[in-house]
């Protein structure tokens, strides 16, 4: 059955990442713009108003000094002529001129040119009246000078004080408006922060749900593929064992019987041949060759599928096989068996035997080892088998990709066990198999 291919979650995740980055950049630009506007508002309005108010207060203080001076000039018990206040008025005039010049530069943009010109004209008129007063006093006409103070200077000074007071009130109102704008900006930014956080959390939630859903589908696919692979490996190994069993029996039964019959006929012919004849010697040689061939066929039959596993069990088969490998390869194999042996199911036994067979074949072919240790432990909860050599060790990548290693791992997985292949501290290789005891007595592959 052809399985439907699920769409990869990568494009969706990339799209979500792009949207998130765009949202973050856009919001950062928005916040930067709001902060820049707030900074300009504080710089151009609040700070400017504050400095302008300081100058207005300075002007107002000078105007109060003028008012006090005019009061002293009109005092009935004054012992000094009006011209005595001339220097004081000149100093105040200079201070007011400086203050007005600074205030004009700092005045808010909302103040019109007409308003600035009106204030300047009012001061000019006041100082004209002041000059007239002091001119009259210098002409020894203090009575007329006092009348000029009452009629012109005091009203103009009061008008200037009122005008400056109105400007201070206007500055205060402007500051209150600016403060309201600042609060509005803060409130707007706060709302936007909440909105952005909500959208971000929603995007994270949607992305997480999508990722979890995609991962669940992928893991389900992997689990299905793993089950299919396990089933396929089981079928292949079962087919392989069935084929090897059939070939082994054919070799043992058919070829073995034929070679046995040939050997018997040759032995009979040898006995019938004349003593000391060349024919008798040739028949004897052919009989030896036939017997050697029969032994090789039986060894090959046992190697393909040891009937001993079915007849005598795993323990006896391992004893026989280790002795056979030791004799064939010349490798000094140390066999250690611990624990109380128990019966191992035929299917589990063939898997364990094949893992041992592949391990010792690798030792003989690749490791260049002189000694090998095989340890079989019957534990209460599991069966453990180790094959360790003192050879040149293994390279992880070739070992992992070899078909023999793959088959060993598949057999261990079919047993529900664990197979570990590591390089030892001495440089050799150790293959460790751990199989739960309940799986060694199970039926079926």
DSSP-derived 3-state class of residue 242: helix
pLDDT at 24: 76
Q: pLDDT tens digits for 5-26?
A: 556 667 766 777 787 778 778 8
HSE value, Cβ hemisphere, 13 Å, CA-based, for 91: 7
pLDDT at 43: 62
pLDDT at 40: 67
pLDDT at 18: 82
Q: Domain boundaries in the chain?
A: 10-211, 308-440
* pLDDT above 70: percentage of residues in the chain: 89
Average pLDDT in the 89-102 region? Answer: 89
Under the banding of pLDDT at 50, 70 and 90, the label for residue 44 is low
pLDDT at 91: 92
pLDDT of 400 strictly over 60:
no
Residues 391 and 362: beta-carbon distance below 8 Å: no
pLDDT at 8: 66
pLDDT at 442: 45
pLDDT of 397 strictly over 50:
no
pLDDT of 112 strictly over 70:
yes
What tokens does 227 get?
């089950």
DSSP H or E segment with residue 384: strand 382-389
Higher per-residue confidence, 42 vs 184: 184
Average pLDDT in the 46-66 region? Answer: 84
Burial 136-151 (b: 16+ CB within 10 A, else e): bbeeeebeebbebbee
Higher per-residue confidence, 309 vs 349: 349
Q: pLDDT tens digits for 193-210?
A: 788 788 888 878 887 788
pLDDT of 434 strictly over 90:
yes
pLDDT at 373: 92
Under the banding of pLDDT at 50, 70 and 90, the label for residue 419 is very high
Work out the burial of residue 43: count CB atoms within 10 Å of its CB; fewer than 13 is exposed, 13-18 middle, 19 or more buried. exposed
pLDDT at 369: 84
What tokens does 332 get?
């000094």
The architecture (CATH level 2) of 308-440 comes to 2-Layer Sandwich (3.30)
pLDDT at 1: 41
pLDDT of 445 strictly over 50:
no
pLDDT at 107: 75
Residues 133 and 149: beta-carbon distance below 8 Å: yes
Under the banding of pLDDT at 50, 70 and 90, the label for residue 387 is very high
Range among 61-75, 107-121, 200-214, 263-277 rated most confident: 61-75
pLDDT of 45 strictly over 80:
no
Under the banding of pLDDT at 50, 70 and 90, the label for residue 406 is confident
> What integer best gives the mean pLDDT of the chain?
81
Nearest CA-CA partner of 411 in 219, 241, 224: 241
Beta carbons within 8 Å of 417's beta carbon, 6+ residues apart:
382, 433, 434, 435, 436, 439
Average pLDDT in the 341-368 region? Answer: 86
The strand pairing partners of 387, in sequence order, are: 374, 431
Within the chain, what is the greatest distance between any pair of CA atoms? 186
Distance CA 163, CA 167 (A): 6
pLDDT of 74 strictly over 80:
yes
Domain 10-211 fold is 1.20.120
83-87, 96-100, 400-404, 422-426: which range is least confident on average?
A: 400-404
Average pLDDT in the 77-94 region? Answer: 84
Distance CA 250, CA 294 (A): 13
Beta carbons within 8 Å of 48's beta carbon, 6+ residues apart:
106, 108
Average pLDDT in the 351-357 region? Answer: 89
- Order of strands across the sheet with 418-423? 332-339, 371-378, 382-389, 429-436, 418-423
Under the banding of pLDDT at 50, 70 and 90, the label for residue 404 is confident
Provide φ and ψ at 423, rounded to 5°.
-90, 130
For CA atoms 83, 86, 88, 89, give the dihedral sign. Answer: positive
What tokens does 339 get?
């624990």
* pLDDT above 90: percentage of residues in the chain: 9
What tokens does 310 get?
């079915």
Q: How far is CA 191 from CA 188, 194, 368, 395, 433, in A?
A: 5, 5, 76, 62, 64
């Amino acid at each position: 059955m052809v399985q439907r291919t699920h769409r990869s979650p990568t494009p969706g995740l990339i799209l979500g990442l792009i949207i998130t980055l765009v949202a973050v950049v856009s919001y950062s630009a928005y916040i930067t713009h709001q902060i820049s506007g707030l900074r300009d508002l504080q710089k151009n309005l609040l700070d400017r108003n504050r400095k302008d108010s300081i100058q207005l207060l300075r002007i107002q203080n000078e105007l109060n000094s003028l008012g006090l001076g005019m009061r002293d000039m009109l005092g009935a018990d004054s012992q000094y002529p009006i011209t005595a206040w001339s220097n004081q008025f000149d100093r105040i005039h200079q201070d007011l001129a400086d203050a007005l010049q600074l205030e004009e530069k700092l005045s808010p943009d909302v103040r019109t040119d007409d308003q600035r010109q009106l204030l300047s004209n009012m001061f000019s008129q006041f100082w004209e009246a002041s000059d007239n007063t002091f001119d009259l006093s210098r002409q020894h006409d203090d009575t007329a000078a006092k009348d000029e103070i009452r009629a012109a200077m005091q009203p103009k000074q009061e008008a200037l004080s009122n005008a400056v007071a109105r400007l201070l009130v206007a500055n205060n109102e402007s500051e209150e408006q600016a403060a309201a704008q600042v609060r509005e900006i803060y409130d707007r930014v706060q709302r936007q922060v909440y909105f952005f956080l909500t959208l971000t959390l929603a995007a994270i939630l949607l992305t997480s749900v999508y990722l979890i859903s995609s991962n669940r589908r992928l893991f389900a696919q992997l689990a299905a593929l793993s089950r299919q692979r396990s089933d396929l490996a089981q079928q292949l190994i079962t087919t392989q064992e069935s084929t090897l069993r059939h070939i082994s029996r054919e070799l043992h039964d058919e070829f073995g019987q034929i070679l046995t019959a040939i050997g018997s006929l040759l032995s009979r012919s040898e006995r019938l041949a004349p003593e000391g004849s060349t024919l008798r010697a040739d028949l004897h040689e052919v009989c030896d060759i036939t017997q050697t061939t029969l032994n090789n066929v039986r060894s090959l039959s046992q190697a393909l599928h040891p009937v001993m596993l079915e007849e005598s069990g795993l323990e006896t088969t391992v004893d026989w096989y280790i002795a056979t490998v030791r004799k064939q390869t010349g490798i000094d194999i140390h066999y250690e068996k611990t624990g109380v042996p128990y019966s191992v199911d035929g299917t589990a036994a063939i898997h364990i035997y094949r893992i041992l067979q592949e391990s010792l074949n690798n030792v003989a072919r690749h490791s260049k080892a002189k000694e090998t240790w095989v340890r079989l432990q019957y534990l209460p909860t599991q069966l453990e088998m180790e094959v360790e050599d003192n050879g040149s060790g293994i390279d992880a990548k070739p070992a992992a990709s070899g078909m023999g290693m793959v088959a060993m791992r598949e057999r261990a997985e079919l047993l529900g066990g664990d197979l570990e292949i590591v390089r030892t501290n001495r440089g050799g290789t150790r293959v460790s198999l751990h199989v739960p005891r309940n799986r060694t007595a199970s039926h079926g592959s």
